[in-house]
């Protein structure tokens, strides 16, 4: 299953090769061409010479992760790894999590002082990132340095699994769920030029998408994202952002974009016409690649379609497979309506 393969692929920000290879393999022979640009964005193209609006679909390949910055040498710490975050990670979610490090996927565990040894005041507050370390079971620094180097990146070692009522858990659904939707969308037939941009370095500031949009110069762009969902205990309506299982979410405003109202309404009406559940994303915080894309060149019309992801940016994220499926249906419907001229530029 593609979402499982993509979710388990190794792709912390700046190290997207593994994800890119999975996508290249999936799209090989199914698109006209694929190019990797200097930043590492993979751009798949279909029907470049066709008439009509040039449409760019975007999904970022990278996931939040960790970067090894130091291999401790000497003393009791010898062989333990210090790290920093790649992207927005809450240090409270890190303790005791298994990780995989570097190109050889060296397994490690994020360690911290056990509860027995903590002073009462230590138990009251979260452990900051600079007090955490990764233990790879090395007997000393030399042992560790033989398999890990500073600059190596790490991801959570979470396996994909389906559970409950049409739910799936795994790491990196933000934004492998978008990658899966984009791989699928690139195999649909449309009468206009279709560009699929699988971008890099979204999690540290939408860095890859800008270059992708600059080289594509689309008339319309749509970012496919995993987004914040907090429809859980104690969250009032305005604190949820999105509701799990209620369909893909459309944005009116986030931290980087005030949505093009006409395009947002076009997507909303398309969902209604096609009987696809849809909801508004009801929070300002957070952003996606469209925040960078819409400001490129003369300005680009478009928006984003987001899948609600519970526990986003955490080691185990949860999506509704119905939401994923409905996001795919909405995307196909939007592409079809663009073909039929329902949205005028």
How distant, in Å, are the alpha carbons of 10, 89, 101, 263, 266 from that of 302?
30, 29, 37, 6, 10
Q: Does 264 bind another protein (CB under 8 A)?
A: yes
Q: How many helices (H) and strands (E) does the chain have?
A: 9, 17
Question: What is the C-alpha to C-alpha distance for residues 325 and 193, in angstroms, rounded to an integer?
Answer: 24
Select 136 or 229, whichever has its Cβ closest to another protein.
Answer: 229
Angle between helices 173-185 and 17-27 in degrees, nearest 10? 20
Q: Binder to another protein among 71, 283, 324, 334 (CB under 8 A)?
A: 283
Which residues, 297 to 326, sit near another protein by CB under 8 A?
297-301
**Under 8 Å CB-to-CB from 109, ≥6 apart: which residues?**
96, 97, 98, 99, 134, 135
Q: Binder to another protein among 166, 274, 282, 332 (CB under 8 A)?
A: 282
Count residues contacting another protein (CB under 8 A)?
A: 22
Handedness of CA 313, 318, 323, 329 (dihedral sign): positive
Pairing of strands 301-310, 249-251: antiparallel
Task: Indicate which residue of 26, 202, 325, 337 is catalytic.
Answer: 202
Q: Does 214 bind another protein (CB under 8 A)?
A: no
The piece of 50-58, 164-172, 187-195, 253-261 that touches another protein (CB under 8 A) is 253-261
Asked whether 180 and 7 are in contact (CB, 8 A), the reply is: no
Q: Does 246 bind another protein (CB under 8 A)?
A: no
Min dist CB 233 to another protein, Å, is 17
Asked whether 134 and 80 are in contact (CB, 8 A), the reply is: yes
The piece of 47-55, 190-198, 258-266, 317-325 that touches another protein (CB under 8 A) is 258-266
Peptide bond into 233 cis (omega under 30): no
Select 152 or 289, whichever has its Cβ closest to another protein.
Answer: 289
Q: Does 260 bind another protein (CB under 8 A)?
A: yes
Q: Does 284 bind another protein (CB under 8 A)?
A: yes
**Under 8 Å CB-to-CB from 269, ≥6 apart: which residues?**
none
Min dist CB 267 to another protein, Å, is 12
Min dist CB 274 to another protein, Å, is 20
Question: Active site includes 337?
Answer: no
Q: Binder to another protein among 45, 280, 311, 342 (CB under 8 A)?
A: 280
Asked whether 238 and 247 are in contact (CB, 8 A), the reply is: no
Which residues, 17 to 36, sit near another protein by CB under 8 A?
none
Q: Does 217 bind another protein (CB under 8 A)?
A: no
**Under 8 Å CB-to-CB from 12, ≥6 apart: which residues?**
62, 63, 64, 65, 66, 67, 86, 87, 153, 154, 155
Query: Is 174 annotated as contributing to ligand binding?
Result: yes
Q: Does 222 bind another protein (CB under 8 A)?
A: no
Query: Is 325 annotated as contributing to ligand binding?
Result: no
Question: What is the C-alpha to C-alpha distance for residues 255 and 253, in angstroms, rounded to an integer?
Answer: 7
Min dist CB 44 to another protein, Å, is 24
Min dist CB 239 to another protein, Å, is 7
Min dist CB 30 to another protein, Å, is 30
Look up tokens 């894309």; give the residue: 293
The piece of 49-57, 157-165, 170-178, 252-260 that touches another protein (CB under 8 A) is 252-260
Residue numbers annotated as active site: 202
Residues forming the site for another protein (CB under 8 A): 236-239, 252-253, 258-261, 264, 280, 282-284, 294-295, 297-301
């Amino acid at each position: 299953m593609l979402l499982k393969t993509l979710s388990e692929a190794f792709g912390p920000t700046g190290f997207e090769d593994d994800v890119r290879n999975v996508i290249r393999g999936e799209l090989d022979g199914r698109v006209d061409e694929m190019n990797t640009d200097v930043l590492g964005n993979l751009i798949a193209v279909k029907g470049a010479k066709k008439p009509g609006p040039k449409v760019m679909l975007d999904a970022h390949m990278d996931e939040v992760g960790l970067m090894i910055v130091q291999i401790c040498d000497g003393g009791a710490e010898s062989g333990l790894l210090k790290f920093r975050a790649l992207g927005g990670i809450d240090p409270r979610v890190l303790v005791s999590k298994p990780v995989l490090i570097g190109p050889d996927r060296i397994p490690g565990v994020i360690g911290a002082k056990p509860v027995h040894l903590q002073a009462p005041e230590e138990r009251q507050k979260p452990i900051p990132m600079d007090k955490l370390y990764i233990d790879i079971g090395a007997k000393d620094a030399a042992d560790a340095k033989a398999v890990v180097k500073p600059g190596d990146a790490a991801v959570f070692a979470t396996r994909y699994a389906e559970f409950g009522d049409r739910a799936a858990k795994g790491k990196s659904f933000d934004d492998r769920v978008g990658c899966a939707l984009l791989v699928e969308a690139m195999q649909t037939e449309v009468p206009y030029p279709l560009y699929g941009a699988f971008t890099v370095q979204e999690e540290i500031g939408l860095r890859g998408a800008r270059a992708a949009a600059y080289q594509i110069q689309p008339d319309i762009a749509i970012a496919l994202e995993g987004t914040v969902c907090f429809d859980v205990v104690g969250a009032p309506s305005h604190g949820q952002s999105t509701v799990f299982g209620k369909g893909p979410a459309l944005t009116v405003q986030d931290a980087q974009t005030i949505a093009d109202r006409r395009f947002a309404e076009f997507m909303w009406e398309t969902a209604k016409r096609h009987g696809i559940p849809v909801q508004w994303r009801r929070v300002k915080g957070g952003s996606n690649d469209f925040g960078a894309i819409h400001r490129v060149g003369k300005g680009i019309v478009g928006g984003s379609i987001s899948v609600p992801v519970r526990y986003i940016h955490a080691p185990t994220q949860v999506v509704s497979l119905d939401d994923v499926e409905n996001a795919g249906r909405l995307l196909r419907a939007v592409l079809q309506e663009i073909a039929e001229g329902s949205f005028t530029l």
